[in-house]
Structure 1
């Protein structure tokens, strides 16, 4: 019997850095996560966005812990615009972990900020999170979808994914490598774009219900695995 390609276990790359602050707060019995980003975070087309699903998944995986996942996504924004919201939409909420979904609109928009402006904003934001507020940071890179794979966009998308990875390595923060994960689903597991992309999105940019659900579950597991890497205090 032929193997259903959708059952091939393509998994997200594990996080390299421990989530020490998140792990410490788990011991207190309550954690707060803020998800900031654009339409993937805010939600698009009536599909429940990943922060809502992440909350449900973390509650399954961390029974007995009081968990908040606060959605601070704004559709259409890029990194410089998101950075301007940090004071109110991130710092005022006092999160233990921030997930910053970033980079897509700097490739997709017609008149986006330059790669240099985008990466400068990401570095600035990470510095504020890590050093000013001592908050754990996880970046989420681009989605692997037809809208970003056209001749006009593909090179920019690759450059943005590479830049986000380099920044994460420099700053010693984690990346949820969504682009790589979705590429694996498509190229290795044989999942079609018709399944991975929201069928109601004529731009072929936004993830489907299936993709969002699978992504949130893998993100939840990656977060918990990274928390377990944190040094245990005596």
Structure 2
């Protein structure tokens, strides 16, 4: 019997979008993606994905069903003639500062044209203040300044409201506040933003809203939707 993921991956984009809709505001491009567009025009695009467990792929039933592999395949299908590589450097449990500290080595190894930085969710779950988060965000910006790559940040995910799990109960207001802060700061420095928190509110048509039984990590359907929306909006921005 075909799995839900197989159905999602083999369906046309429109049916999938109907289950996890997002309007054009899913991606805000605050500055033209010049480095990534030039790389795509030359036929070779390298993306470095940094962040915590959702970048790493925790919760997917198999590695190939997680965000990074699905994004790579989705972009390759939408950018014919472009050799697309998405490098996965997600480590579960990291806050913004811990991810930022890994930037120099990861950038040196990957030589990316575009950096995706997922941040915010663990800062909320670790009860860190907005000031501490913003300090780490800005420290990361300094480490990214000389990379020559475009940067798009991915804001906090949404957690289910109906799960009897103490560690996520009542967290969405803070996650939303950190998402708003992320967008504000990204706009100030010209980073793009994937608005994941707001978009997940429309995922009621997905199995468990796209979130696995632990109430935090995405399931296969959630990863498939997130990757599809990201690939579609990013490919559109690079054309």
Alpha-carbon contact 1:146-1:193 (below 8 Å) kept: no
In 2, Cα distance between equivalents of 1:68 and 1:52: 9
Evaluate the alpha carbon distance shift between residue 173 and residue 115 of structure 1 in structure 2; reply closer, same or farther with a 3 A threshold: same
Show structure 1 runs of 5+ residues with no match: 229-234
Show structure 2 runs of 5+ residues with no match: 1-14, 162-166
In 1, Cα distance between equivalents of 2:69 and 2:121: 20
Residue of structure 1 equivalent to 2:235: 224
Alpha-carbon contact 1:145-1:193 (below 8 Å) kept: no
Evaluate the alpha carbon distance shift between residue 107 and residue 193 of structure 1 in structure 2; reply closer, same or farther with a 3 A threshold: farther
Evaluate the alpha carbon distance shift between residue 8 and residue 82 of structure 1 in structure 2; reply closer, same or farther with a 3 A threshold: closer
Residue of structure 1 equivalent to 2:115: 98
Alpha-carbon contact 1:37-1:101 (below 8 Å) kept: yes
Residue of structure 1 equivalent to 2:164: none
SS in 1 for 2:203: helix
Residue of structure 2 equivalent to 1:231: none
Instruction: Please report how far the alpha carbon of residue 29 of structure 1 lies from its aligned counterpart in structure 2 after TM superposition.
Output: 0.9
Instruction: Please report how far the alpha carbon of residue 84 of structure 1 lies from its aligned counterpart in structure 2 after TM superposition.
Output: 1.0
Q: Any idea what the Cα deviations from partners look like across 1:22-65, whole Å, max 9, x if unmatched?
A: 00011211010000000000011343320110001011111221
Instruction: Please report how far the alpha carbon of residue 195 of structure 1 lies from its aligned counterpart in structure 2 after TM superposition.
Output: 4.0
Residue of structure 1 equivalent to 2:196: 178
In 2, Cα distance between equivalents of 1:34 and 1:177: 18
Q: Any idea what the Cα deviations from partners look like across 1:146-204, whole Å, max 9, x if unmatched?
A: 278633x2332122111101111101111100011111233xxxx26724211xx33x0
Residue 225 of structure 2 corresponds to residue 214 of structure 1: yes
Residue of structure 1 equivalent to 2:174: 156
Alpha-carbon contact 1:19-1:136 (below 8 Å) kept: yes
Write the mapping of 1:1-12 to structure 2, written as runs, cut at 5 A.
7=18, 10-12=21-23
Write the mapping of 1:162-201 to structure 2, written as runs, cut at 5 A.
162-186=180-204, 191=205, 194-198=208-212, 201=213
Residue 86 of structure 2 corresponds to residue 73 of structure 1: no
SS in 2 for 1:90: helix
Evaluate the alpha carbon distance shift between residue 8 and residue 51 of structure 1 in structure 2; reply closer, same or farther with a 3 A threshold: closer
Residue 147 of structure 2 corresponds to residue 128 of structure 1: no
Moved over 6 A (4+): none
RMSD across aligned C-alpha pairs, in angstroms? Answer: 2.2
Q: 1:35 aligns with which of 33, 46, 49?
A: 49
Aligned residues: 213
